[in-house]
Amino acid sequence: MSVDEQDLKALTDDAFLRTPAGSAVMLRVKDDPSTALKLIGGGTSLTLAQGARALDNIIGSIGDDETAKVLVAQHVTPEAQAEFLAGWGDRVSALSVIAQADTLMFAIHSIYCGDADGENDLAMAAAVIHSLALRIHDRSDWAEILDHEFAGGGYTFSDILIAAVAAEVEPTGEDGSLPPDAWVNVGLDPDEAQERLLDLPVDLLNEVTSIGVLKARVQLAASRVAHGLPSAVRGSAEDV
C-alpha cells in the first residue's frame, strides 16, 4: 500500500502515531520515504504546521541523517524547507538538523525580517540562532554557517550568536567573563568568543539584550501557536 496524503495528515498527530494504526502508517513511510517526501514537496492540502510536523516525522522514520538529507534535498524545494524552518522559529526540528546551510540561513533571515511591522529584529534572530546553536552546533558545516554575513549591519552569524549568549548567560568571572561551557555548548571557542565579545559594536549589544531576546521568544511561541505548531521552546538558553 503506497503512502498517500491521508498518511501525511496522520503524521501530524503524535498521539495517533503511538497507536497500532499509527505504527502501521510509520512503517509505510519508513518503507517508502521518497513518495512521502514527493507529496510534501509537490504541494498538498496540508497547512504549514501539518507539513512541518509531517516532514519531521518522515525524517525521523528514515533514521539516518545523511540519507534523510539527500532524500529531502531531492524532493522538497529549499523554499519549502525554509518556510517550514521559519515556522518552527527557535524550536529545533528534525529538519534543522539536516537542512542545507543556505536553506537554514535563509530561514533565519526570513524570521529576522518578518515581524508584524516589517522591521528587522536582531533580538529575534539572536533568539533563533542561540536556540539552534545549542542543539545543532555539531553539524559539519557549523563553521561555514557562523562565518556567513547576516543580512543588514555587517554582522556575521557568529557575532549575533556571541551577543545572544552574552545576553542570556550570567557572567561568572571577576572580569565579567562567561563560563567556558556557555561558548562550548554553542560550538564556539571560549577564548576566541570572549575576545570577540569585547569587540562587538555597542549597537548590536544594545539590540540583543536579555529582555529583547525574551520578548522575541514569546513572539516566536505565539507565532507557532497561530500556525498550529507546539509553543514550547526546545533548546532555549535556560538549558545552558
| 221 compared with 153, residue with greater pLDDT | 221
At 191-219, the pLDDT tens digits run 999 999 999 999 999 999 999 999 999 99
Residue 45's identity, in one-letter code, is S
Looking at residue 17, its pLDDT comes to: 87
Rounded CA separation 161/182 (Å): 11
CB atoms within 10 A of CB 146: 20
Rounded CA separation 142/129 (Å): 12
User: Per-residue b/e over 183-220, b at no fewer than 16 CB within 10 Å?
Assistant: bebbbbeeeebbebbeebeeebeebbbeebbbebbebb
- Which residues on neighbouring strands pair with residue 149, listed in sequence order? 156
| 46 compared with 59, residue with greater pLDDT | 59
| 237 compared with 142, residue with greater pLDDT | 142
Asked if the model's pLDDT at residue 178 lies above 90, the reply is yes
Asked if the model's pLDDT at residue 238 lies above 60, the reply is no
CA-nearest of 141, 149, 240, 147 to 186 is 240
Q: How confident is the model at residue 227 (pLDDT cuts 50, 70, 90)?
A: confident
Q: Where are the domains of the chain?
A: 1-76, 95-232
Asked if the model's pLDDT at residue 234 lies above 80, the reply is no
Q: How confident is the model at residue 69 (pLDDT cuts 50, 70, 90)?
A: very high
* Burial class of residue 53, CB neighbours in 10 A (0-12, 13-18, 19+): buried
At 126-156, the pLDDT tens digits run 999 999 999 999 999 999 999 988 876 688 9
Instruction: Provide the strand spans (E) within 53-151.
Output: none
